[in-house]
Protein backbone atom coordinates (compact mmCIF):
# COMPACT_ATOMS: atom_id res chain seq x y z
CA UNK A 1 0.00 0.00 0.00
CA UNK A 2 1.33 3.44 -0.95
CA UNK A 3 2.26 6.00 1.67
CA UNK A 4 -0.48 8.30 0.34
CA UNK A 5 -3.18 5.64 0.73
CA UNK A 6 -2.12 4.75 4.26
CA UNK A 7 -2.00 8.43 5.19
CA UNK A 8 -5.53 9.02 3.85
CA UNK A 9 -6.94 6.10 5.83
CA UNK A 10 -5.20 7.11 9.05
CA UNK A 11 -6.45 10.69 8.68
CA UNK A 12 -9.96 9.38 8.05
CA UNK A 13 -9.87 7.46 11.33
CA UNK A 14 -7.93 9.87 13.55
CA UNK A 15 -8.68 13.23 11.93
CA UNK A 16 -6.95 16.01 10.03
CA UNK A 17 -7.39 19.79 10.30
CA UNK A 18 -11.02 20.65 11.20
CA UNK A 19 -12.21 17.09 10.67
CA UNK A 20 -11.57 15.34 13.98
CA UNK A 21 -11.78 11.81 12.65
CA UNK A 22 -14.13 8.86 12.51
CA UNK A 23 -13.55 7.92 16.13
CA UNK A 24 -14.27 11.34 17.64
CA UNK A 25 -17.02 12.63 15.35
CA UNK A 26 -18.96 9.35 15.26
CA UNK A 27 -18.24 8.37 18.85
CA UNK A 28 -16.85 4.99 17.89
CA UNK A 29 -13.65 3.01 18.18
CA UNK A 30 -11.56 1.40 15.47
CA UNK A 31 -9.71 -1.30 17.45
CA UNK A 32 -7.48 -2.57 14.66
CA UNK A 33 -6.63 -1.81 11.05
CA UNK A 34 -4.99 -4.39 8.77
CA UNK A 35 -3.21 -3.27 5.61
CA UNK A 36 -2.76 -5.62 2.65
CA UNK A 37 -0.61 -4.56 -0.30
CA UNK A 38 -1.14 -5.64 -3.91
CA UNK A 39 1.21 -5.15 -6.83
CA UNK A 40 -1.24 -5.56 -9.75
CA UNK A 41 -4.93 -5.81 -10.54
CA UNK A 42 -5.06 -9.62 -10.63
CA UNK A 43 -3.55 -9.81 -7.17
CA UNK A 44 -6.58 -8.06 -5.63
CA UNK A 45 -8.57 -11.26 -5.83
CA UNK A 46 -5.81 -13.49 -4.50
CA UNK A 47 -5.41 -11.23 -1.48
CA UNK A 48 -9.12 -11.25 -0.63
CA UNK A 49 -8.65 -14.66 0.94
CA UNK A 50 -6.13 -13.11 3.36
CA UNK A 51 -8.72 -10.65 4.70
CA UNK A 52 -9.66 -11.64 8.25
CA UNK A 53 -13.18 -11.17 9.65
CA UNK A 54 -13.79 -7.46 9.26
CA UNK A 55 -16.57 -4.89 9.48
CA UNK A 56 -15.68 -2.86 6.37
CA UNK A 57 -12.90 -3.25 3.82
CA UNK A 58 -11.38 -0.16 2.16
CA UNK A 59 -9.86 -0.86 -1.24
CA UNK A 60 -7.70 1.57 -3.18
CA UNK A 61 -8.24 1.06 -6.92
CA UNK A 62 -7.03 2.69 -10.16
CA UNK A 63 -9.10 5.54 -11.53
CA UNK A 64 -11.63 4.41 -14.11
CA UNK A 65 -9.94 6.31 -16.95
CA UNK A 66 -6.47 4.91 -16.20
CA UNK A 67 -7.31 1.27 -16.95
CA UNK A 68 -9.10 -0.59 -19.74
CA UNK A 69 -12.75 -1.39 -19.10
CA UNK A 70 -12.03 -5.12 -18.77
CA UNK A 71 -9.34 -4.41 -16.18
CA UNK A 72 -11.35 -2.06 -13.97
CA UNK A 73 -11.56 -3.94 -10.66
CA UNK A 74 -14.44 -1.91 -9.18
CA UNK A 75 -17.41 -4.12 -10.08
CA UNK A 76 -15.60 -7.50 -9.81
CA UNK A 77 -14.32 -6.58 -6.35
CA UNK A 78 -17.74 -5.33 -5.25
CA UNK A 79 -19.22 -8.66 -6.39
CA UNK A 80 -16.61 -10.67 -4.50
CA UNK A 81 -16.95 -8.67 -1.29
CA UNK A 82 -20.76 -8.80 -1.45
CA UNK A 83 -20.73 -12.58 -1.91
CA UNK A 84 -18.69 -12.81 1.29
CA UNK A 85 -20.97 -10.45 3.20
CA UNK A 86 -18.30 -7.75 3.55
CA UNK A 87 -19.32 -4.09 3.03
CA UNK A 88 -16.70 -2.30 0.93
CA UNK A 89 -15.55 1.26 0.34
CA UNK A 90 -13.65 1.96 -2.88
CA UNK A 91 -11.14 4.81 -3.03
CA UNK A 92 -9.44 5.93 -6.24
CA UNK A 93 -5.68 6.40 -6.48
CA UNK A 94 -6.18 10.05 -7.43
CA UNK A 95 -8.16 10.65 -4.22
CA UNK A 96 -5.26 9.33 -2.16
CA UNK A 97 -2.72 11.41 -4.08
CA UNK A 98 -4.60 14.68 -4.42
CA UNK A 99 -7.35 14.83 -1.78
CA UNK A 100 -5.90 13.27 1.35
CA UNK A 101 -5.39 16.82 2.65
CA UNK A 102 -9.09 17.66 2.26
CA UNK A 103 -11.06 17.41 5.53
CA UNK A 104 -14.32 17.38 3.55
CA UNK A 105 -13.24 14.30 1.58
CA UNK A 106 -12.01 12.57 4.73
CA UNK A 107 -15.34 13.33 6.42
CA UNK A 108 -17.35 11.81 3.58
CA UNK A 109 -15.21 8.66 3.55
CA UNK A 110 -15.63 8.34 7.33
CA UNK A 111 -19.38 8.84 6.99
CA UNK A 112 -19.63 6.05 4.42
CA UNK A 113 -17.54 3.72 6.57
CA UNK A 114 -19.69 4.40 9.62
CA UNK A 115 -22.95 3.76 7.73
CA UNK A 116 -21.61 0.62 6.03
CA UNK A 117 -20.48 -0.68 9.40
CA UNK A 118 -24.08 -0.51 10.65
CA UNK A 119 -24.24 2.96 12.21
CA UNK A 120 -27.02 5.51 11.70
CA UNK A 121 -25.27 8.89 11.32
CA UNK A 122 -28.36 11.08 11.90
CA UNK A 123 -32.13 10.80 12.22
CA UNK A 124 -35.17 13.04 11.80
CA UNK A 125 -35.95 15.60 14.47
CA UNK A 126 -39.70 14.93 14.36
CA UNK A 127 -41.70 11.77 13.61
CA UNK A 128 -43.76 11.48 10.45
CA UNK A 129 -47.54 11.16 10.53
CA UNK A 130 -47.36 7.65 9.06
CA UNK A 131 -46.17 4.61 11.00
CA UNK A 132 -43.71 3.67 8.25
CA UNK A 133 -42.44 4.58 4.80
CA UNK A 134 -41.60 1.86 2.29
CA UNK A 135 -39.67 2.45 -0.95
CA UNK A 136 -40.01 0.01 -3.85
CA UNK A 137 -38.09 -0.78 -7.02
CA UNK A 138 -37.89 -3.69 -9.44
CA UNK A 139 -35.57 -4.81 -12.21
CA UNK A 140 -33.47 -7.69 -13.44
CA UNK A 141 -35.91 -10.26 -12.09
CA UNK A 142 -35.59 -8.86 -8.58
CA UNK A 143 -37.54 -6.59 -6.26
CA UNK A 144 -36.01 -4.35 -3.59
CA UNK A 145 -37.64 -2.45 -0.77
CA UNK A 146 -36.46 -0.08 1.92
CA UNK A 147 -38.29 0.34 5.19
CA UNK A 148 -38.25 3.26 7.62
CA UNK A 149 -40.20 3.06 10.87
CA UNK A 150 -39.95 3.63 14.62
CA UNK A 151 -39.45 7.35 14.02
CA UNK A 152 -38.32 8.16 17.57
CA UNK A 153 -35.10 6.16 17.21
CA UNK A 154 -35.42 5.57 13.45
CA UNK A 155 -35.11 2.02 12.25
CA UNK A 156 -33.97 1.57 8.65
CA UNK A 157 -33.80 -1.77 6.91
CA UNK A 158 -33.99 -3.20 3.40
CA UNK A 159 -34.93 -6.47 1.76
CA UNK A 160 -34.50 -8.05 -1.67
CA UNK A 161 -36.41 -10.84 -3.31
CA UNK A 162 -35.32 -12.44 -6.56
CA UNK A 163 -36.94 -15.11 -8.66
CA UNK A 164 -36.08 -14.65 -12.34
CA UNK A 165 -38.47 -17.44 -13.30
CA UNK A 166 -41.52 -15.44 -12.20
CA UNK A 167 -42.80 -11.92 -12.83
CA UNK A 168 -41.22 -9.20 -10.68
CA UNK A 169 -44.62 -8.33 -9.23
CA UNK A 170 -44.68 -11.78 -7.56
CA UNK A 171 -41.26 -11.12 -6.02
CA UNK A 172 -42.71 -7.83 -4.78
CA UNK A 173 -45.57 -9.67 -3.08
CA UNK A 174 -43.19 -11.86 -1.07
CA UNK A 175 -41.08 -8.85 -0.21
CA UNK A 176 -43.95 -6.72 1.11
CA UNK A 177 -45.25 -9.55 3.26
CA UNK A 178 -41.79 -9.83 4.86
CA UNK A 179 -41.64 -6.12 5.64
CA UNK A 180 -45.12 -5.85 7.14
CA UNK A 181 -44.45 -8.86 9.35
CA UNK A 182 -41.18 -7.24 10.46
CA UNK A 183 -42.99 -4.06 11.56
CA UNK A 184 -45.71 -6.04 13.35
CA UNK A 185 -43.15 -8.18 15.19
CA UNK A 186 -41.12 -5.25 16.51
CA UNK A 187 -43.98 -2.80 17.11
CA UNK A 188 -47.73 -2.81 17.37
CA UNK A 189 -49.61 -3.51 14.10
CA UNK A 190 -49.26 -0.43 11.86
CA UNK A 191 -52.25 1.78 11.13
CA UNK A 192 -50.83 3.99 8.36
CA UNK A 193 -48.08 3.34 5.78
CA UNK A 194 -46.92 5.31 2.73
CA UNK A 195 -45.39 3.50 -0.25
CA UNK A 196 -42.90 5.34 -2.48
CA UNK A 197 -41.64 4.50 -5.94
CA UNK A 198 -39.46 6.46 -8.35
CA UNK A 199 -41.54 6.93 -11.49
CA UNK A 200 -44.90 5.35 -12.16
CA UNK A 201 -46.59 2.57 -10.21
CA UNK A 202 -47.78 -0.11 -12.61
CA UNK A 203 -51.51 -0.91 -12.34
CA UNK A 204 -50.55 -4.49 -11.45
CA UNK A 205 -48.52 -3.19 -8.49
CA UNK A 206 -51.40 -1.07 -7.20
CA UNK A 207 -53.78 -4.01 -7.57
CA UNK A 208 -51.30 -6.18 -5.66
CA UNK A 209 -51.10 -3.66 -2.81
CA UNK A 210 -54.87 -3.48 -2.52
CA UNK A 211 -55.08 -7.27 -2.37
CA UNK A 212 -52.28 -7.50 0.20
CA UNK A 213 -53.85 -4.85 2.43
CA UNK A 214 -57.11 -6.82 2.58
CA UNK A 215 -55.15 -9.95 3.50
CA UNK A 216 -53.16 -8.13 6.20
CA UNK A 217 -56.38 -6.89 7.79
CA UNK A 218 -57.88 -10.37 7.86
CA UNK A 219 -54.70 -11.81 9.42
CA UNK A 220 -54.51 -9.00 11.99
CA UNK A 221 -51.03 -7.93 10.86
CA UNK A 222 -52.29 -4.35 10.49
CA UNK A 223 -55.00 -2.39 12.31
CA UNK A 224 -58.61 -2.88 11.23
CA UNK A 225 -58.80 0.75 10.08
CA UNK A 226 -55.41 0.54 8.33
CA UNK A 227 -54.76 3.38 5.89
CA UNK A 228 -52.25 3.31 3.04
CA UNK A 229 -51.10 5.78 0.40
CA UNK A 230 -49.18 5.06 -2.80
CA UNK A 231 -46.95 7.96 -3.82
CA UNK A 232 -45.09 8.36 -7.12
CA UNK A 233 -41.87 10.39 -7.02
CA UNK A 234 -41.17 11.51 -10.58
CA UNK A 235 -38.10 13.30 -11.90
CA UNK A 236 -39.32 14.00 -15.45
CA UNK A 237 -40.73 17.42 -14.77
CA UNK A 238 -41.26 20.15 -17.37
CA UNK A 239 -42.22 23.06 -15.04
CA UNK A 240 -39.48 24.89 -13.15
CA UNK A 241 -39.69 26.89 -9.94
CA UNK A 242 -37.62 30.10 -9.89
CA UNK A 243 -36.76 32.62 -7.19
CA UNK A 244 -37.16 36.27 -8.09
CA UNK A 245 -34.47 38.67 -6.89
CA UNK A 246 -34.72 42.15 -8.27
CA UNK A 247 -34.97 41.97 -12.04
CA UNK A 248 -33.40 38.50 -12.24
CA UNK A 249 -34.44 34.93 -11.52
CA UNK A 250 -32.39 32.32 -9.70
CA UNK A 251 -32.64 28.81 -8.32
CA UNK A 252 -35.36 28.41 -5.69
CA UNK A 253 -34.65 27.76 -2.04
CA UNK A 254 -34.54 24.06 -1.21
CA UNK A 255 -37.86 22.81 0.09
CA UNK A 256 -39.98 25.16 -2.01
CA UNK A 257 -43.32 23.50 -2.75
CA UNK A 258 -45.99 24.29 -5.32
CA UNK A 259 -49.32 22.46 -5.02
CA UNK A 260 -50.73 21.73 -8.49
CA UNK A 261 -53.95 20.09 -7.35
CA UNK A 262 -55.32 18.07 -4.44
CA UNK A 263 -53.16 15.05 -5.26
CA UNK A 264 -50.09 16.47 -7.00
CA UNK A 265 -47.30 18.90 -6.06
CA UNK A 266 -43.83 20.05 -7.08
CA UNK A 267 -40.99 20.20 -4.56
CA UNK A 268 -37.39 21.35 -4.91
CA UNK A 269 -35.20 18.88 -3.04
CA UNK A 270 -32.17 20.63 -4.51
CA UNK A 271 -31.61 24.36 -4.89
CA UNK A 272 -30.26 27.40 -3.07
CA UNK A 273 -27.99 27.55 -1.13
CA UNK A 274 -26.51 24.21 -2.27
CA UNK A 275 -26.82 25.19 -5.93
CA UNK A 276 -25.15 28.51 -6.68
CA UNK A 277 -27.18 31.35 -8.13
CA UNK A 278 -26.01 31.25 -11.74
CA UNK A 279 -26.35 27.53 -12.44
CA UNK A 280 -29.10 26.15 -14.68
CA UNK A 281 -32.51 25.98 -12.99
CA UNK A 282 -32.84 22.88 -10.82
CA UNK A 283 -35.52 20.37 -11.71
CA UNK A 284 -38.18 19.86 -9.04
CA UNK A 285 -39.71 16.49 -8.30
CA UNK A 286 -43.34 15.70 -8.98
CA UNK A 287 -44.97 14.07 -5.97
CA UNK A 288 -48.31 12.49 -6.85
CA UNK A 289 -50.73 10.29 -4.97
CA UNK A 290 -51.41 7.31 -7.25
CA UNK A 291 -53.69 5.40 -4.90
CA UNK A 292 -54.91 5.60 -1.33
CA UNK A 293 -57.39 3.92 0.98
CA UNK A 294 -59.14 7.25 1.57
CA UNK A 295 -59.09 9.89 -1.17
CA UNK A 296 -61.14 12.33 0.92
CA UNK A 297 -58.48 12.67 3.64
CA UNK A 298 -55.41 12.39 1.39
CA UNK A 299 -53.04 15.29 2.14
CA UNK A 300 -50.56 15.99 -0.65
CA UNK A 301 -48.64 18.50 1.49
CA UNK A 302 -48.00 15.84 4.13
CA UNK A 303 -46.52 13.41 1.60
CA UNK A 304 -44.55 16.10 -0.22
CA UNK A 305 -43.00 17.13 3.09
CA UNK A 306 -42.04 13.51 3.74
CA UNK A 307 -40.34 13.24 0.34
CA UNK A 308 -38.33 16.40 1.02
CA UNK A 309 -37.12 15.42 4.49
CA UNK A 310 -36.25 11.91 3.37
CA UNK A 311 -34.00 13.44 0.70
CA UNK A 312 -32.27 15.41 3.46
CA UNK A 313 -31.81 12.22 5.48
CA UNK A 314 -29.36 10.79 2.89
CA UNK A 315 -26.36 9.16 4.62
CA UNK A 316 -24.08 8.90 1.58
CA UNK A 317 -22.74 12.44 1.86
CA UNK A 318 -22.29 14.84 4.73
CA UNK A 319 -22.09 17.84 2.39
CA UNK A 320 -24.70 17.37 -0.35
CA UNK A 321 -28.18 15.99 0.05
CA UNK A 322 -29.93 13.68 -2.40
CA UNK A 323 -32.42 14.74 -5.03
CA UNK A 324 -34.57 11.73 -4.13
CA UNK A 325 -35.94 10.45 -0.82
CA UNK A 326 -33.80 7.65 0.57
CA UNK A 327 -36.76 5.28 0.34
CA UNK A 328 -36.61 5.27 -3.47
CA UNK A 329 -32.93 6.22 -3.82
CA UNK A 330 -31.62 3.25 -1.85
CA UNK A 331 -34.10 0.77 -3.35
CA UNK A 332 -33.01 1.92 -6.82
CA UNK A 333 -29.32 1.56 -5.91
CA UNK A 334 -29.86 -1.98 -4.66
CA UNK A 335 -31.51 -2.94 -7.95
CA UNK A 336 -28.76 -1.17 -9.94
CA UNK A 337 -26.09 -3.21 -8.15
CA UNK A 338 -28.20 -6.35 -8.49
CA UNK A 339 -28.34 -6.02 -12.28
CA UNK A 340 -24.53 -5.72 -12.24
CA UNK A 341 -24.25 -9.05 -10.44
CA UNK A 342 -23.60 -7.60 -6.99
CA UNK A 343 -25.84 -9.57 -4.64
CA UNK A 344 -25.50 -9.16 -0.87
CA UNK A 345 -25.67 -12.21 1.32
CA UNK A 346 -28.82 -12.82 3.35
CA UNK A 347 -26.95 -11.94 6.53
CA UNK A 348 -25.90 -8.53 5.21
CA UNK A 349 -27.97 -5.75 6.79
CA UNK A 350 -25.74 -2.66 6.56
CA UNK A 351 -25.84 0.17 4.03
CA UNK A 352 -23.40 -1.59 1.70
CA UNK A 353 -24.92 0.16 -1.37
CA UNK A 354 -23.88 3.72 -0.40
pLDDT in tens, 85-123: 788 899 998 999 999 999 999 999 999 999 988 889 999
Q: Examine the domain organization and report whether 78 and 174 are in the same domain.
A: no
pLDDT reported for residue 167: 57
Q: Examine the domain organization and report whether 56 and 21 are in the same domain.
A: yes
Cβ neighbours of residue 81 closer than 8 Å, sequence gap 6 or more: 48, 57, 87, 88
Q: Is residue 15 part of a domain?
A: yes
Which range (14-18, 126-130, 181-185, 322-326) has the least confidence?
181-185
Cβ contact 106:16 at 8 Å: yes
**Nearest Cα to 96, choosing from 223, 8, 224?**
8
Q: Examine the domain organization and report whether 172 and 293 are in the same domain.
A: yes
pLDDT reported for residue 69: 59
Q: Is the pLDDT of residue 164 over 80?
A: no
**Nearest Cα to 115, choosing from 341, 318, 343?**
318
Q: Examine the domain organization and report whether 178 and 272 are in the same domain.
A: yes
Return d(Cα 35, Cα 50) in angstroms, integer.
11
Question: CATH number for the domain including 192?
Answer: 3.30.420.10
Assign 62 a pLDDT band (cuts: 50, 70, 90): confident
Assign 181 a pLDDT band (cuts: 50, 70, 90): confident
Assign 207 a pLDDT band (cuts: 50, 70, 90): very high
Q: Examine the domain organization and report whether 185 and 235 are in the same domain.
A: yes
**Nearest Cα to 206, choosing from 233, 180, 160, 173?**
173
Q: Is residue 123 part of a domain?
A: no
Q: Examine the domain organization and report whether 199 and 87 are in the same domain.
A: no
Residue where a domain terminates, one of 85, 116, 147: 116
Q: Examine the domain organization and report whether 89 and 167 are in the same domain.
A: no
| Angle of the 103-116 helix axis to the 3-14 helix axis, nearest 10 | 70
Q: Examine the domain organization and report whether 103 and 152 are in the same domain.
A: no
pLDDT reported for residue 105: 95
Q: Examine the domain organization and report whether 327 and 265 are in the same domain.
A: yes
Residue where a domain terminates, one of 62, 89, 116: 116
pLDDT reported for residue 81: 84
Q: Examine the domain organization and report whether 212 and 179 are in the same domain.
A: yes
What mean pLDDT is predicted for residues 27-34? 85
Q: Examine the domain organization and report whether 234 and 328 are in the same domain.
A: yes
Q: Examine the domain organization and report whether 144 and 241 are in the same domain.
A: yes
- Which domain does 219 fall in, by range? 132-339
Residue where a domain terminates, one of 116, 146, 164: 116
Total number of domains in the chain? 2
**How do residues 239-267 score in pLDDT, each as one tens digit?**
888 888 888 888 899 999 999 999 999 99
Amino acid sequence: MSTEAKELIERTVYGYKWFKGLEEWFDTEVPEMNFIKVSNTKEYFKKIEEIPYTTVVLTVIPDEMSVDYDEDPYMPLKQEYASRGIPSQMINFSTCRNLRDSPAVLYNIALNIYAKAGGTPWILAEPFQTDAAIGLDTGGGAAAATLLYNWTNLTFTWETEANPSVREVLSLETLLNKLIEKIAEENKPPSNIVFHKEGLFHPREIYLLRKLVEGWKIEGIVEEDFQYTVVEVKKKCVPRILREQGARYYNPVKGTCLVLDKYKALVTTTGYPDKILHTAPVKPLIVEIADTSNWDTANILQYTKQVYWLSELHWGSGIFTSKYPITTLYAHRIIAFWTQGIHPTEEESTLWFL
